[in-house]
Amino acid sequence: MRKRLILATLIAVWLGACSDEAPSLKAPPVRVEGEIVTLVDAENAGFLKLATVVANSGSELRLPGRLIWDETRTVRVFPQLGGRVSSIAVDLGNAVKSGQTLAVLQSADYGLAQSDARRAAADWRVAEQARERSRVLREAGVVAEKDWQQAEAEAVRAQAEAARTSRRLAGLGGDGDGSYFLKAPLAGTVVERNINPGMEYRAEQAGAPMFVITDPTALWFQLDAGEGDVAALKPGEPIHFSVKQYPGELFKGRITRVADFVDPQSRTIRVRGEVGNADRRLKGEMFIEARVELPPSQALHVPAGAIFLQGDTRYAFVEEAAGRYRRQKVDAGNEHEGWLDVWSGLKAGDKVVIEGNLHLLKYFKPQAGARK
């Protein structure tokens, strides 16, 4: 009997303890009502970080890029014929004139071109003689009209072939001993040389040009812009940029072209411009950072961390009171230097959550599932 009484007493104590714990287990850490999430204990909101929505008073867009040669003043020199390099006349940094010899190749192909030109010239002479004989005989009534016409056509063909091979030989440049002279197509400075004495070159092979000649007093710059930056980048607009080689100094250029397509891999758009380089301090392939001044707009500015995506919609959590936050739909634009443009949904002075918003967002998931 005594054992039963002790057992009943223990069961009653255990049930009483369970009943005391039940209310604390049922008390939720937050309360969600529509778009409002409220922390039951506002003092526990210390894990949230807030920022103030401010007006857009203008900003600066910074874009990475590099300097490249002005392609309108640059030529990459490839030999038109194969051969072995026997001598090199210029080196890196040398200024050259149009038509100046860059290198000499011993070329069997050039000898063949000479042979073709000489044979064509000889055929033309023979055809001219045959045409003259045919003309005399035609006037004497000895040959038929069709024979004269055939001789006339052959002479014209031989003349055209002789002119073609002669022009090709003159364009190649060379000497009677089979030496082929590689010449500069335009004046400029040798900025690249990929040739050594004794190197064998085949005209049909793919590879780097033997020489790159350009005018280094004018360069192009090439930028990689985001899709949202295109509106601020227009042909004809001035642009400033810096290079790490000259800290604290800004160089001025001008945008000349904005690409018509977006790179599908990087989702960037190529922007090209030109910059003067009379003192030749800037060098091709230098990395640059371009700076574009963005004027004030009607958009508001918030830190990028304040905006999050749920489904296809952008939201921000706005603090209405201590521990009370409203999930607010927003229309946000582009990010610049860690800030986002917001066009609707917020007003200047609003306090928005920039750290911890994803923790608040998770309490909306059961509600969203219930609506489904």
Interval 216-242: pLDDT, tens:
999 999 999 887 778 788 899 899 999
Tokens 């690409």 found at = 259
* Per-residue model confidence as pLDDT tens digits over 53-68: 887 766 677 889 999 9
pLDDT beyond 50 at 19: no
CATH superfamily placement of domain 108-177: Helix hairpin bin (1.10.287.470)
Out of 3.60.40.10, 3.40.50.300, 2.40.50.100, 2.40.420.20, select the CATH number for domain 30-58+298-371: 2.40.420.20
Q: What is the pLDDT of residue 164?
A: 60
pLDDT beyond 50 at 26: no
**Of 312 and 278, more confident:** 278
Whole-number Å distance between alpha carbons of 333 and 302: 11
Q: What is the pLDDT of residue 115?
A: 59
Contact yes or no for 343/333 (Cβ under 8 A): yes
* Per-residue model confidence as pLDDT tens digits over 132-157: 767 766 666 666 666 656 766 676 67
According to CATH, the topology of domain 61-72+215-294 is: Elongation Factor Tu (Ef-tu); domain 3 (2.40.30)
DSSP letters spanning 186-238: S-EEEEEE---TT-EE-TT-----SEEEE-TTEEEEEEEEEGGGGGG--TT-E
Per domain, the residue ranges of the chain are 30-58+298-371, 61-72+215-294, 108-177
Question: Looking at residues 252-264, what average pLDDT do you find?
Answer: 91
Angle at 199 between CA 195 and CA 205, to 5 degrees: 85
Residues 214-253 as b/e (b if ≥16 CB within 10 A, e otherwise) read bbbeebbbbbbbbeebeebbeeeeebebbbeeeeeeebeb
